[in-house]
Structure 1
Amino acid sequence: MSVNKGDSTPTWVDPDDAPELTEEWLEGAHLYRGDQLLKRGRGRPPLERPKIAVKVRYDQDVIDTFRASGKGWQTRMNLALRRFLAEHDVSELDQR
């Protein structure tokens, strides 16, 4: 005969003990289709200076160099441009 040792924790949780789903909670929720994130909740405030998507053409060797640096290459490219702007007057550049 088996003896109940009494040290097991219950695995059943009463569904009535679940927190109430409010509009505020739903607005902050992430929406997924399978493993793909479709919509991110409003959990973080909007950025003070959001990034802007633009179409730009660069020389192939410039892109190859940044891409070879691995994940985050666009962020590093943005940082390199920001540092360049801090050190140079763009209006004085030769536009050849």
Structure 2
Amino acid sequence: MPTKDSNTVKRTLDLKKPPVLSAGQKARLDAVAAMPDEQIDYSDAPSLPDAVWMKAAAELPHTKQQITLRIDTEVLEFFRHTGKRYQSRINAVLRSYVEAHKTHAK
């Protein structure tokens, strides 16, 4: 297998075996869970304008390129259960995400 010149580290989280939390971490999570939303400080969270990428585009582009893409089973099943043209909806969500992040990347 060829090596890549990349600094990307891929990690997966097995939700059936969550990481072990320390007592301090558990206490902090419990404290945040007990807070009303308006008291939580979101100032260090990245700017995500109303999760724009989740608002799929009403008009889909007509030119597309066929590729092979590996998607998590749960994600694929979610879109398949939305009915016909689920692939177009996946594309629309990805397009909205790209558009939302174009202005932030500059």
- TM tier relative to shorter chain: 0.3 to 0.5
**Relative to total residues, which structure has the larger helix share, 1 or 2?**
2
* Higher relative contact order, structure no. (Cα contacts within 8 Å, ≥ 6 residues apart): 2
Larger Rg: 1
Q: TM-score, normalised by structure 2?
A: 0.37
